Amino acid sequence: MLWQAMTAARDLGRLHEIASILIRHGFGDVVRRLGFAHALERAGRALHWSEGTELAQLEPQASVRRAMEEMGPTFVKLGQILATRVDLFDPEWIAEFSKLQDSTPASPYSAVHQQLTEDLGAPPEEIFAAFEPEPFAAGSIAQVHLARLEDGTEVVVKVRRPGIRVGVEADLRWLSRLAELIETSNSELRHFHWQEVVAQFTQSLRRELDFGAECRHAERVASNFAGYSDEASPVLPLAHPPVGEDESSSLLPLIVIPKVYWQWTGERVCVQEYIRGIPGRDVAAVDRTGLDRKILARRGVGAVIKMILVDGLFHADPHPGNLFYLPGNRIAFIDFGMIGLLGEARRGELIHLLLGLVQYDSAAVADVLLDWTGEGDVNEEALKTEIQLFVDQYLGVPLKQLKLGSMLADLVAILRGHRLHLPPDLALFFKAFITLEGTGRELDPELDIAGEALPLLRDAMAIRYAPAAMAKRGWRTAIELAGLLSNLPRDLSRLLRSARRGKVDIHIEVAHLKHVGDQLDGAVNRLVVGIVVAAVIVGSSVVMAVSTGPTLWGLPFFSLLGFACATIGAIWLLSAISRANKADRERKPRGD
């Protein structure tokens, strides 16, 4: 039961707040079915069930989104992670989750000033030549102030909201318990893999709370783009600088990542170069300043594909709000709080998948998707047939008319229809790629993203299967095999020794039986109490017939004491049975 999981009383106040918000937004039935009401009643906290009559009239997706916004930064960030799980949720849910904004009022400057003084080692007005107390941007986790160094360099000072980690950790604790409860007690919701989603979310949010980690990722991306040019990119083989670029601009980096000032950067604060450019959302300003929208779109696509397929470390949210356009048709990426990581093997699978899509190879696409879905309950023939039909509908369609992001979204919809899900590390890739196509087409409606990606995919495939790369992988495999073979005699010896001693154990764990086990434990405990109560009643009746010993009101004292104890035990037993029955009714889905 949820009450048994709530070992820390400090979490109950937050649980009461969340349950009240859910009721206001029309999710009172969810509160009952998940056991929130029972847990809070046992803690002596009352819920107001009459709230939420107007808010409940909204569509479920909008109600969930508004409830998440009201529940605070943890749930805003959770919604943003859910927006990446296109394999789990229908498009209307993804669209609603994508609307979640983490714009909130700024924290009091007195608290921010005190925290900055602790982290910087001195008040900010002593560290910087100028510091703006009024933030120019504020989100659910941090707020950003403008400052100027002694040499005149403009910087941004990103400050984590004071005291936010305590509330976030409380939310993460009970979210983890809630995910476990949902998966073990509700078969309808189990296929959403809530524990996996919460684990991914916990890792992402804790990483986002650490500004030092964010800056390290930014520096890794910057180093990956050192020396990057149009000529170095298979996607953009430009023989001459595009119109609007002079010799000086061609010497500047095409992809700009803000410089980090590490002497003032840590877990709760980071200081980075201030990028002055055209915000990604202001496409009209791009035209006014004479920048080439087609070149910007192609360079952005090339940069993100390079991050994903070549580097394995990519900006997971390349929407226009995280982009700036600079003179010389250059692009700056900011805010590396949400990043994706892909290993070498996963990048190889992605190359095969994307090549299969642009070359209409349904067998390659099906093989990759089946590898990703693991050993779940899947009708392979039905899945392969559906993928074949999906790919065949694009046969003969020119590359420039293919919308690769839309194709990926449709593929994920096929997986969702078979109740299959993607590995967690791929969720951010799909989100980033679909966002990338939307951003690119805002700049250039005729963007041929498939045509731009094809040369890089072929080059990446050639590099992957080059003799040197294959030799490196083969050598690594040989070392692993040698280690396995060298340990084999010892492992077999241990296994046989354990078998002779009868100490070979096979452990089988069925997660959804945990709830059944808890119910059996409770039933056995109540049975034992019932037996003890019956025994006390029988013993007290026997003592009643004994005339010796102390008396009370003319009756044997010990007999009366036994009957009193039996009455208390019987009352407790009836109460426990009533609570168990009530909890079962709340947990049972409506209509069962």
Tokens representing 506? Answer: 């096979």
Beta strands in 214-354 (DSSP E): 255-256, 269-273, 278-279, 313-315, 323-326, 330-333, 339-341
Token pair 């949400």 is found at 338
3-state secondary structure of 510: coil
Candidates 87, 317, 444, 448; catalytic one = 317
- 590 and 546 Cβ atoms separated by less than 8 Å: no
Burial of residue 104, with CB atoms counted within 10 A of its CB: 0-12 exposed, 13-18 middle, 19 or more buried: middle
Strands 255-256 and 330-333: parallel
SS3 call for 160: strand
Strands 330-333 and 323-326: antiparallel
Task: Based on the residue annotation, tell me whether 210 is a catalytic residue of this protein.
Answer: no
DSSP string for residues in 1-57: -HHHH---THHHHHHHHHHHHHHHTT-HHHHHHTTHHHHHHHTT----TT--TTGGG
β partners of residue 341: 313
Distance of alpha carbon 121 from alpha carbon 115, whole angstroms:
10
Q: How many Å apart are CA 74 and CA 80, to the nearest integer?
A: 10
**What's the rounded Cα separation, in Å, for the pair 212 and 270?**
7
264 secondary structure, DSSP code: G
DSSP letter assigned to residue 423: -
CA-to-CA distance for 205 and 78, rounded, in angstroms?
8
Taking residue 18's Cβ as centre, other Cβ atoms within 10 Å add up to: 22
Measure the CA angle with vertex 193, ends 192 and 198; round to 5°.
110
Q: Give me the active site residues, please.
A: 317
